[in-house]
Structure 1
Amino acid sequence: MPAPAVPEITEEVLHESIDARTESLMSLRELGPPDLVHLLKQNLRNPGKQTGVYHHVTGVDASSSASLAAYINTLTYTKEHGQPAAHKIVEGLYCCYNAFSRLDMRVHVTIPGTVESYCMDERGEKRKATDDLWLETYLCSVLRAYSYADDGSGDTIRKIMCVRRFNPVTSTETEHRFLSSAEQLFFRGWQLGSDSVVQVPNNVSNHLTAGLLKYFHTTGRFASAINLFEKLRTQNVEVSSLLAKVLFMGQEEVRGVRVLYQALKDSPMDYVMLDAQAEFLLKKAQAAQSPEQREERLKMALGCADRSTIAAPSEFGTWARLAQIYVAMEDWENALTILNSCPMFTYQDKDAPLMPEPKNVFLPVLPETRLDEIDSEPESRYEEQVDPSLLNLRAASYRGTFKQAYNILTEMTAKIGWDQLLKIRSSVFVMEDEYRSERQDTTQPAHARNPSTDGLRGTPDATVNDDRSDEENVSNNANPSDTPPAAPSSLTNGNGTIEESSVERPTHTIDPGEVIADGDTSTTTDEHLSRLNNKRLCERWLDSLFMVLYEDLRVYTIWRTQMAQYRAQSMQYKKSAEEWEILGSLAERLHHHDEAVEAYRACLGARFSPKALTGILRMYEKQKNTRDTIASVIRLVTWQYRWYSEFSPELLHTIRSLIEEEGAVKVRSIIQATSLPQSVLDLTHHYAALCATFRSSGTDG
C-alpha cells in the first residue's frame, strides 16, 4: 500500500508554526491537537535560501524518539511528482502532545546528523524526555488517532487542513503495546478529560475509556477487551461497567448481565453501571416480539434509569436515558418533563491547531486515488449557490448535549406530530399567556392598560429566542427578540406524502427568571396561582430548541410542498448539490429517512459528496444490500485517501461487519468485480486485509 501523499503548508516567516504551537500549549484542554511535522527545505540551486513547510499527522508510532525520527526520514524520500527535486530537507521537527503531563514532546532531526529529543512545557521551557513520558505520549497519540479520525462523511477532514491520518494499530503486536500502555495508565485516564456530554470525568468515563471502546467496536477484538477489563476489575469494581459493555458488543449478553448484577451488589449506586443496564434493557425492549415483553423490559429499564439520575443528578447522560425510555413508553408528558430537567453543558470541541496565515498551501493528489467523479468535486463545490434560509438552520450546528436533547425532541415529533407536541408542551409548562392573565387578575383591572403592560414580552406579537447559540443562552441568560411569524404551510407524514396542516409557531413559555423577579414585587397569592401549581417552568434552552425545531419543520415543509407541486406539473425540481446535501441532513434530523435518501441521491446526481454517500450507506447497511454497500465504501475510502487519510474506524467497521455476515472471499470478490481502476480497489482491499490480520469472524472461509 502506498502512503498517502504529503501536503505542505509554506510559512510566511521561518518557524512561525512552531512558535504558534508553543504559545497554544497553555490553552489546550483535551487530548491536544494533531502532531505537527515541520521541515526545513534548502534550495539546491541557492543553498542559502531556506523554506519552512509543515503538515499535521495522526497515528504515527510515538513510543520513542527513534520512531518519530524515522517518520521524518521517510519524508526525505518522497518524490516531487516525478519532477527533478528542487529542494532537499535539511532539518525536521516532530511535535507530539502528551495530555497526561501537559507537555509537548519534540524530536529534532538534522539531515544528515543527529537526533535530539526533549519536551516543552506550557511556559515554553525545555525539559528532559523520560521513558515514562514517552509511554504517556504513545497512548495519547493512539487515542488522538481514533478521536480525530473521520467517520466517512468528510466533516472531520475539512475541519483541519493538511492532516495525514494513519491507523495506529495495524497488527496484534501493536495492539498488545497499546493495551499494555492503557492498562498501566488506566486509572489516570480521568486526567485526559471526557466527552462534552460528561460533566465530571471518572475512572470509566473519560477519553481513554472512550478510545478503548471505540477501538474494540471497530476491530471486534472482544477477547482482548474482556481480558483487559477482567484484570482491571480486580483493582476497581467500577470497571465492571466497561466489561459488561464489551460483553454486550460481543453478543455475550447473559455473561454481561451477570457481571452487572454482581457488581451492583458491591456498588449499588454506580451510575455508569445503572445506565449500562438501562441502555441494554431499552435495546431489548425495542427488539421485543410482543407488547407484553416490551412493556416489561421498559419498566425494568425505567427503574434502572430513574435510580441512575439519583446517583448522578448532575450528569446529562442519565437524564437523557430516562427521557428516551419515556419516549419509548409513549409517556410524552414525562418525557418532556425529564428532558427539561437535563443539565446542559457548553460544548468543548477537540483541540485544533491555531496557525498563522500561510504563504502557500500545496495539496498533491496521489495517482492511486484518481477517480473522475471524486476529482471533480472541489471545483463543483466552489461554483454552487445556496439559499440563505438553508444556511441559517441552527440545528445543523448543534453538538454535545444540545444535539442529543434535540434528537429526543425530534423523535417525539416524528412519532406524535408537531401539533400534538405543542399541546403536550402547553399542558406540562407554564405558558406566557396563562402567566400574564393570572398576574393581570391579581394586580390590576382587566380593562386597565398602560405602556408598561403593552411592552411585556409576548404582547402583542409572538417572539423567538435570539440568534445566539443555546450554549450562550444557558450561560448568559440572554433575552429573546422579536421575529415575524411565518406563513402556514403543509407538512409531510412519516410516509412522505403531503397532508395539509399548518406549522404553527410555538408560543413562549414563561421565563423562570422573570417569575422570580415578579415574585419580589407582586402581591399574587397561592390561591390565585392555583391553576399553575401543577405545571413546570420551561428552561430557556428547551424553549429555544422548540423554536429551532419550528424553523426546521417550516423549511422541510416548504421543500416537500414544492416538490409535490412540481411533480404534479411534471416539472423538474432544481437545487444545487450543496442545497440537496443540506436538505438530506435536515430530513435525517427530523427522522424522515426516505426523504433524506431522496435528497442525498439528488446531491450525488449533481456531484460527488462524501456526506451524502455516507447517509445513503447507512440505508444500505440497514437493508443488508451488500453490493451497494461495498460500492459506497470503495468510493468513500478513495475520497478519504485522496485527502491524506488511510484510516476511518467507521469504514473499517463496515467492512468487518460485511465480512462477518458474507465471508471474506465473497466480499473480496465483489470488490474486485467492481469496474473501477485496480489502484482504487486496492485501497479497500487494504481494509479487508486488516480484518484478516486481526482474524475477524468470517476471514477463515
Structure 2
Amino acid sequence: METIKYTTENVEQIPGESVGVRNTWLSTRASRIGVGPPDLVWLKKVLGRHDTAAVDNLEFTGYYHWVTGLDVSSAATVAAYFADLKSDVEQYSLLEGLISTKVHDVSGGLYCCFDALSKVDLRCSFSVPGGVRVEAVDAAGKSITAGPEHWAGACVSAFLRAELLDLQTLAAAGGLRRFEALPTPRAEQELLGCVERVYRDDTQRARITSLSTDPGMGVRAEDWDPLCAALYHHFERRQRFEQAHTLSRAPRRTPSSRGSPSATRRRRCTQRWRSMTSTSLRTA
C-alpha cells in the first residue's frame, strides 16, 4: 500500500512539482507581509522493498502534504516526524497481500518550514540510508547555512501560523495535517526560549510587526505585536492566566536602546498584556 496512517496526501503528477511551486512562491512572495504558508512535507516513495544501495536508480512517486503546529525547534524533532511517517506506512491485510504485492516504501523526503523573520525556507532533507541534512534557502534560491537564529525564527513562525492562519480554509483544500501547538510543557519552554532569542536580536525583533496582516484589537499597526498577542491567545484558550501574567512580568534582557521604536512597541504590548491578564485573573 502507499497510504500513511492519519495523513491525507496529494500525489504529484510530475515528481518534485510541489517543491518547485514552493520555490516559485519563495522567489516572488516571501518578502510580503505575513507569516507564510504551512510547512510542506514532500515524500519520495519507491515501489517494493528496495536494496538501499540501488534506491537512487529506482523510479519513484512524489507525495506531499502540509503541516501546522509541529515542533520545529531542532533537526531532531523534524527527523522524529519523518521516522513516524515511515513507520506509519499502512500495510496490506493478509487477504489484500495475497491479491496485490505492490508495496510502497518511503526512501526519502523534504520538510520545508518558512522562517518569516529571516525570509528564508528552512529545509530538512532525509534519505534512507543517509540521515538528515539541513539548509536554509533564500528568495534567490541560494542555499545558506542554517544557524540558531533560523531555528528560532522557524519555531516562532510555525507557532504563529498555527495560531493565526485560517486553518479551516486550508483544510478544505486537502492534505493538511494539524497538530496542537505546544502540546507539552517541554514544547512550550522550547518556544519561549526561541521567543527570548528573537526579542534579544535587534533585527529580528524589528521584523515582528511584519508578520501580521491584520492589526486587530483596535491598536495602530505600528503598536501591534502579533507574537505577543498569539502567546496571550495560547494561554487564554487554556485558562492559564497566571502563567501568562508571570511571563508578561519577566524581565527581557535586550541590548537595544530603550527608546528605539521596536523597544517602545514591545513595552506597549507588554503593558496591554499585563492589563489583559490582570483583568482575566480578577474575573476567573
TM-score range, shorter chain: 0.7 to 0.9
- More helix, by proportion: 1
**Residue 180 of structure 1 is aligned with which of 176, 179, 193?**
193
Q: For residues 13 and 273 of structure 2, what CA distance do their matches in structure 1 show? A: 48
Cα gap change, 1:27 to 1:199, in 2 (>3 Å): farther
Q: For residues 93 and 249 of structure 1, what CA distance do their matches in structure 2 show? A: 43
Cα gap change, 1:53 to 1:247, in 2 (>3 Å): same
Q: Contact conserved, 1:44 with 1:86, CA < 8 A, in 2?
A: yes
Deviation at 1:38, TM superposition (A): 0.3
Q: For residues 161 and 128 of structure 1, what CA distance do their matches in structure 2 show? A: 33
Q: For residues 194 and 274 of structure 2, what CA distance do their matches in structure 1 show? A: 18
Q: For residues 117 and 182 of structure 1, what CA distance do their matches in structure 2 show? A: 22
Partner residue in 2 for 1:20: 21
Partner residue in 1 for 2:125: 108
Deviation at 1:205, TM superposition (A): 1.3
Partner residue in 2 for 1:449: none
2:241 pairs with 1:222: yes
Q: For residues 149 and 173 of structure 1, what CA distance do their matches in structure 2 show? A: 26
1:406-427 alpha-carbon deviations (Å, 9 max, x no partner): xxxxxxxxxxxxxxxxxxxxxx
Cα gap change, 1:8 to 1:19, in 2 (>3 Å): same
Partner residue in 2 for 1:168: 181
Unaligned runs of 5+ in 1: 253-659, 661-701
* Equivalent residue letter for 2:111: Y
Partner residue in 1 for 2:88: 78
Cα gap change, 1:19 to 1:142, in 2 (>3 Å): same
Q: For residues 92 and 143 of structure 2, what CA distance do their matches in structure 1 show? A: 40
Q: Contact conserved, 1:195 with 1:207, CA < 8 A, in 2?
A: no
Unaligned runs of 5+ in 2: 200-204, 259-263
Deviation at 1:130, TM superposition (A): 0.5
Aligned length: 246
Q: For residues 47 and 120 of structure 2, what CA distance do their matches in structure 1 show? A: 33
1:587-610 alpha-carbon deviations (Å, 9 max, x no partner): xxxxxxxxxxxxxxxxxxxxxxxx
Q: TM-score, normalised by structure 1?
A: 0.33
Q: For residues 144 and 236 of structure 2, what CA distance do their matches in structure 1 show? A: 38
* Equivalent residue letter for 1:111: V
Partner residue in 2 for 1:673: none
Q: Contact conserved, 2:71 with 2:182, CA < 8 A, in 1?
A: no
Q: Contact conserved, 2:122 with 2:137, CA < 8 A, in 1?
A: yes
Deviation at 1:249, TM superposition (A): 2.3
- Greater Rg over alpha carbons, structure: 1
Q: SS of the counterpart of 2:282?
A: coil
- More strand, by proportion: 2
Q: For residues 157 and 18 of structure 1, what CA distance do their matches in structure 2 show? A: 19
Q: SS of the counterpart of 2:65?
A: strand
Q: For residues 69 and 137 of structure 2, what CA distance do their matches in structure 1 show? A: 21
Q: For residues 42 and 80 of structure 2, what CA distance do their matches in structure 1 show? A: 14
Q: Contact conserved, 1:34 with 1:56, CA < 8 A, in 2?
A: yes
Deviation at 1:199, TM superposition (A): 8.7
Q: Contact conserved, 2:152 with 2:197, CA < 8 A, in 1?
A: no
1:418-457 alpha-carbon deviations (Å, 9 max, x no partner): xxxxxxxxxxxxxxxxxxxxxxxxxxxxxxxxxxxxxxxx
Q: SS of the counterpart of 1:41?
A: strand
* Equivalent residue letter for 1:67: T
Deviation at 1:182, TM superposition (A): 2.1
Alignment of 1:311-322 (within 5 A): none
1:473-508 alpha-carbon deviations (Å, 9 max, x no partner): xxxxxxxxxxxxxxxxxxxxxxxxxxxxxxxxxxxx
Q: SS of the counterpart of 1:68?
A: helix
1:64-117 alpha-carbon deviations (Å, 9 max, x no partner): 122112211111111326445611111110000000000000001011213110
2:171 pairs with 1:157: yes
Cα RMSD of the aligned pairs, angstroms, is 2.7
Q: SS of the counterpart of 2:248?
A: helix
Amino-acid identity (%): 28
Partner residue in 2 for 1:95: 112
Cα gap change, 1:45 to 1:71, in 2 (>3 Å): closer
Q: For residues 243 and 4 of structure 1, what CA distance do their matches in structure 2 show? A: 43
